[in-house]
Amino acid sequence: MSEAWETALAETEARDLDALNELLRIPSISALPEHDADVRSAADWMAAKLREAGVPEVELLPTGRNPIVFGSWHVDDAQPTAMIYGHYDVQPPDPLDLWVSPPFEPTVRDGKIYARGAADDKGNAFATINAIAALNAAQGGPKINVKFFFEGEEEIGSPSLPTFVHEQRERLACDFVISADGDMFGPDTPSLTLSSKGLAGCQINLRTADTDMHSGMYGAAMPNAVQHLVQLAATFHDADNRVAVEGFYDKIPELTIQERSDIAEVPFNEDAYRASVNAPALWGEKGYSPLERAWMRPTLDMNGIWGGFQGAGNKTVTPCEAHLKITCRLVPDQDPSEILDLIERHVQQHCPPSATVEVVRSPGSSHPFAVSKENPALQSAAEVLGDLFDRDPLYVRTGGTVPVAEIFQQELGSDMIFFAFGMPDSKVHAPNESLPVSAFKMARRAYCAYLNALVK
């Protein structure tokens, strides 16, 4: 390739790297109220850079908390509209003493920029601004309509997002969303994400009496809440490690041959995966490979349990209450609310007469997200990545939940294309977060190429 935008990018490269460092110096930690002004500074900085890049409409749109940096460059009604998603807030840097260089003093070592937010998500997000600036310099602007949507609450769970997107759905209308937040499968291995899982959670509160009891006086004749809860909890999985909640799998299609073969193509070392957390053995639903399970099979996960005495030594108590926290990772077309209905029914059916139980649904449910391999914007992305890396991208999935993907899909009808250039070892959310300088440069090129490729 030797496009005009390549030249434009080369001309601004040193300046853009300096500017990225400037952005990385702003401790825009959304979780800490004492950094509210920094978060706002980062928003202002992003808006200013969008304006410098030539984006004609740039605004800070207020939410209940941190503003959305919104930009729009409308060029042609006949062309599709892409909305680029990213975020300008970062995770807290603790524990500080594990950082080799200070988190908000970006430092290059061995070709990597070390700083909080380098990969997640300032490097990616700013590369999209560099790209639009280069397209402006090289060809007078993008060939398709481009919107920018940078939020400031991603690292605190995007609490304002659902309401904001719903209320602003006309302004945000687009044909697809390009997520500039995420990573590649490997440094030389581009990847495209086809799905993320949904989430539904609840807390089970089991009670057997209105007071803890002396186990000598009561233990042999009164119900023990911890015992009843473990017996109830043990009914959630069968001997094949399948979820034993009736109806749990009803809405899930079986994996297709194509899906299984796509997954089988992904390099995955089971033993290295197991050894990475020092587990004695892998575990999971019979009949599926670990990666099939992680990416395409739903789970019922026990996140926490407690009841009775947790101190040192003996306390001879017959506990009257015990609690279990559950979240389910969901796949299409499981519905979070229906799944919680099924769990509630299961719990009531398996609760013995000597206990009472309540299921309290947790906030933060999320639908599963999936994009078809046939989606034209995804196919364009595959072609662009294939050209840039000289190899076809892997089709991957995530077992994690990406609420923003599902929100845009539900509210705008727009699929999300995950197109970002963090590295698997970028240590996002951890000390010594980094982004290779080469990845930043690749990102700038990739966004230019992709935006141009999307033209009809």
Q: Which stretch binds its own copies (CB under 8 A): 120-128, 166-174, 277-285, 334-342?
A: 277-285
Residues of span 377-416 touching its own copies by CB under 8 A: 398-401
Smallest distance, its own copies to C-beta of residue 361, A:
10
Q: Please check whether residue 145 is in contact with residue 74, taking contact to mean a CB–CB distance below 8 angstroms.
A: yes
Instruction: Please report, as a single letter, which amino acid is at residue 97.
Output: D
Q: 41, 168, 362, 375: which one contacts its own copies (CB under 8 A)? A: 362
Asked if residue 353 lies in contact with residue 329, where contact means CB atoms within 8 angstroms, the answer is no
Cα separation, 75 vs 302, in Å, equals 50
Say how many residues touch its own copies, by CB under 8 A: 81
Give me the DSSP letters along 384-429.
HHHHHHTSPPEEE--SS--HHHHHHHHHH--EEEE---B-TTS-TT
Residue number, 48 or 234, with CB nearest to its own copies: 234
In sequence order, what are the beta bridge partners of 54?
none
Residue 316 burial (CB < 10 Å; 0-12/13-18/19+)?
A: exposed
User: CA 148, CA 164: separation in Å to the nearest integer?
Assistant: 15
Find tokens 């957390």 and name the residue: 277
> Considering the rule CB under 8 A, would residue 422 count as an interface residue with its own copies?
no
CB of 144 to its own copies, least distance (A): 32
320 is a contact residue toward its own copies (CB under 8 A): yes
Q: Which of residues 162-181 bind its own copies (CB under 8 A)?
A: none
Q: Which is nearer to its own copies, 324 or 451 (CB)?
A: 324
Helix (H), strand (E), coil (C) string for 123-150: HHHHHHHHHHHHHHHHHCCCCCEEEEEE
User: Is the separation of the CB atoms in 204 and 359 below 8 Å?
Assistant: yes
- Nearer to its own copies (CB atom), residue 55 or residue 243: 243
**202-241 binders of its own copies (CB under 8 A):** 208-211, 213-224, 226-227, 229-231, 233-234, 236-237
When the beta carbons of 25 and 251 are compared against its own copies, the nearer one is 251
Neighbours of 280 (CB within 10 A): 6
Stretch that binds its own copies, among 47-55, 70-78, 89-97, 197-205 (CB under 8 A): 197-205
What is the nearest approach in angstroms of its own copies to the Cβ of residue 183? 12
Q: Is 191 in the site for its own copies (CB under 8 A)?
A: no
Residues 297-316 that bind its own copies (CB under 8 A): 297, 299, 301-310, 313-316
